[in-house]
Amino acid sequence: MSAEATNPEARSEARPEFRRRGRTRLDLRRLGRAALLGPTSRDRLPDAIGHVAEAHRAHHPDADLSILRRAYVLAESSHRGQMRKSGEPYITHPLAVTLILAELGAETTTLTASLLHDTVEDTEVTLDQVREEFGDEVCFIVDGVTKVEKIDYGAAAEPETFRKMLVATGNDVRVMSIKLADRLHNMRTLGVMRPDKQARIAKVTRDVLIPLAERLGVQALKTELEDLVFAILHPEEYEHTRALIAAHAGERDPLPAIAESVRVVLREAGIHAEVLVRPRHFVSVHRISRKRGELRGSDFGRLLILVGENADCYGVLGELHTCFTPVVSEFKDFIAVPKFNLYQSLHTAFATSDGHVAEVIVRTRQMHRVAEAGVVALGNPYATAAATAAATAAAAASGATAGSAEACADPYEERVDPTRPGWLSRLLDWQQSAPDPDTFWSVLRAELAQDREITVFRADGGAPATISLPGGASCIDAAYAQYGEAAHGCIGARVNGRLTSLTSRLSDGDTVQLLLAHDASSGPSADWLEHAHTPAARIAISSWLKAHPDGAAATTTAARAPLSVVGARGGGGNAVADLPDATVRLAGCCTPVPPDAVAGFVVRGGAVTVHRVQCAAVAQMRSLGRTSVAVHWRATADCRVTLLAESFGRPHLLADLTEAIAREGVEVVSATVEPPVEQRVRHSYTLQLPDATGLPALMRAMRDVPGVYDVSRA
């Protein structure tokens, strides 16, 4: 069952770097017969991998193919006599997988490992033999894609195999590249399986492999896998979509004429561009039909415009929006803000004079290669520039071609890969805390179902400076991503400088400051699970709640006991007004203390109310034309002040604050504790200080109480 584009010939033209025009389609039966005959000469490549060599040389003209010949000879001899359920010799499977990768532009090491990827699993070949013959790099990749023994793991074999592959992918993404190509060829030949087994394999492909292909940016594999899964799991919708495409094939397609109009516009603007009509694949047609209802001719494809430089992409965009009527809601700039899977393009759409709407993708040729092949197009991402230069120099000194030397690091040492995507780092972290295969399997599917990635910045400037999270993540997820299990004591967060609750969702580009309690008994509450999206956070919270069944309820209880409120306004204290016999009062709105700069105003009854000069009441009085009265402080040091403390609710908070105030030798005249709102509590204290100079130290002592995030003058 084929899941090519709606027009396979057109797809071939839209992807010139993956399939040369005129290349014959791979005939597995003919290759099977050639494989059984073996190589005709030790000095030339076997005929059976001629297609692989041709596709590989199209991307790597100087590649040394001798290692491929040796890998094929070992694979063919070890698989000789084995047959696939479809009836072909087994060697046709690694050949087909290798051809898929070769057409995507994989480098020689990947193709070598691909030819050998089933030898250790299904034959007598050992990893030591692979290492001795082909080196550590190939051995590591082959080991990464080799399944664990079912006899050892039983029903857990499949999840444990994926765990092993993902851990290996963390050190070398080429492991997953081979797995994706392997699954694609198996899906192409799935028709010989029982329907129930087809459905089981298709569901795993849908839930795990397709999301992984999306995250690694291998769109060429992802789209075909989607179509194959669609045909198996949704046969009725698939047949309906096939009928829509077949009906469209007999109608006039408006896109070629629109493409020609675009070519004329760009040619007149002096922009060198290649304009192609790119048919939609089956799943894409199905999705757009559900979105728009009745489809028009232009809905069955999109225009793909390839240019040389990034600036040309925006030049094309300007011409399209100038000469046609743009559909503003369809514009997306994935060049300035790339997707988390390396994808870069400009997306737009415009309406023609006859009412057709054409969707357009604009990208450079390099962007196109990465968009189609993803991590496969990166070659060996672990070879440093220095190592590559050294390998090239060594090859030149020995008379070899520059492309024949590949720099390899030791695959058994953990690699520091700055290009490793955030989702993969998160996955590698949380899988260590999920020893149960069922938990790992279910959480993995939930993690891969997240189809959007955001990046937030740490306000403390620590390393790393950014945190990658799935779309919809909350401050709780950020806390566990940054602090691990220490996030159990997180009591709040500031997002973009503003205080917010831990349950608040984060957006791409937010700056996050997480506030931790110093109390070792602090822990998460059960409702955190409702707002945690990352597996690491959910596993850590669940583990803590399970270990502290009685502590969860206590941590959710906020301080609620209000104390009796005593008027915050006191007498004049040590403030003296320059009015004989006037009664002086310190304003309750700002409670000035020495040595604050103050101003007084006469109120009803002849009393003078003293405010700090920064108080809003002073500006209001002066705007009304009220004349201020000069006020000075007596030499005595004692004073009265009102402080506001803002904190997160937790047990014993009021007692701890009162104790901190008492340690500073300060008398509490009155206090008010408001009921908590969104886990935040506001305290108001009127205090009698023996010495005004001790006010800064008092405020610092109150801020040091766990849970208190701000203390200010009233």
- Would the pLDDT of 229 be above 90? yes
pLDDT at site 521: 62
The token pair at 543 is: 């583990």
Residue range 231-244: mean pLDDT, rounded: 92
pLDDT tens, position by position, 478-487: 988 888 888 8
Rank 246-255, 349-358, 462-471 by mean pLDDT and report only the highest. Answer: 349-358
Full-model pTM: 0.67
Task: Report the percentage of the chain scoring pLDDT > 70.
Answer: 80
pLDDT at site 35: 45
pLDDT at site 582: 72
pLDDT at site 47: 64
pLDDT at site 72: 92
Higher per-residue confidence, 451 vs 497: 497
Residue range 582-587: mean pLDDT, rounded: 77
- Would the pLDDT of 267 be above 90? yes
- Would the pLDDT of 627 be above 90? no
What is the H or E stretch that residue 363 is in? Answer: strand 357-364
Higher per-residue confidence, 567 vs 141: 141
pLDDT at site 4: 36
359 pLDDT band, cuts 50/70/90, is very high
pLDDT at site 26: 44
- Would the pLDDT of 12 be above 50? no
pLDDT tens, position by position, 644-666: 888 877 777 787 888 888 888 88
What is the H or E stretch that residue 430 is in? Answer: helix 422-430
- Would the pLDDT of 166 be above 80? yes
User: Residue 602 is which amino acid?
Assistant: V
Residue range 617-626: mean pLDDT, rounded: 82
Residue range 490-505: mean pLDDT, rounded: 82
Residue range 606-635: mean pLDDT, rounded: 80
304 pLDDT band, cuts 50/70/90, is very high
Residue range 542-564: mean pLDDT, rounded: 57
pLDDT tens, position by position, 205-219: 999 999 999 888 899
Phi and psi angles of residue 247, each rounded to the nearest 5 degrees, phi first: -65, -40
pLDDT at site 518: 61
- Would the pLDDT of 348 be above 90? yes
Average pLDDT, the chain: 78
Lowest mean pLDDT among 153-162, 169-178, 190-199, 377-386: 377-386
Residue range 297-315: mean pLDDT, rounded: 91
Phi and psi angles of residue 408, each rounded to the nearest 5 degrees, phi first: -125, 135
E-state strands within 587-649: 598-602, 608-612, 631-633, 639-648
198 pLDDT band, cuts 50/70/90, is very high
pLDDT at site 16: 38
pLDDT tens, position by position, 403-438: 333 333 344 344 444 445 667 777 777 777 776 787
pLDDT at site 388: 43
pLDDT at site 151: 64
* CA distance to 182, 292, 343, 499, per residue, from 65 (Å): 22, 50, 31, 61
Nearest to 487 by CA among 498, 495, 479: 479
Task: Measure CA 331 to chain center.
Answer: 22
Nearest to 59 by CA among 23, 109, 104, 98: 104
The helix-helix angle for 235-249 and 282-292 (nearest 10°) equals: 90
End-to-end CA distance of the chain: 75
pLDDT at site 562: 39
pLDDT at site 308: 92
What is the H or E stretch that residue 332 is in? Answer: strand 332-333
Catalytic residue list? 121-122
Do 689 and 586 form a contact (C-beta atoms < 8 A)?
Answer: no
Tell me the C-alpha distance between 90 and 85, whole Å. Answer: 9
Tell me the C-alpha distance between 166 and 177, whole Å. Answer: 11
DSSP letter for 44, please: S
pLDDT at site 40: 43
555 pLDDT band, cuts 50/70/90, is very low
519 pLDDT band, cuts 50/70/90, is low
pLDDT at site 264: 94
Lowest mean pLDDT among 43-52, 301-310, 339-348, 604-613: 43-52
306 pLDDT band, cuts 50/70/90, is very high
pLDDT at site 422: 67
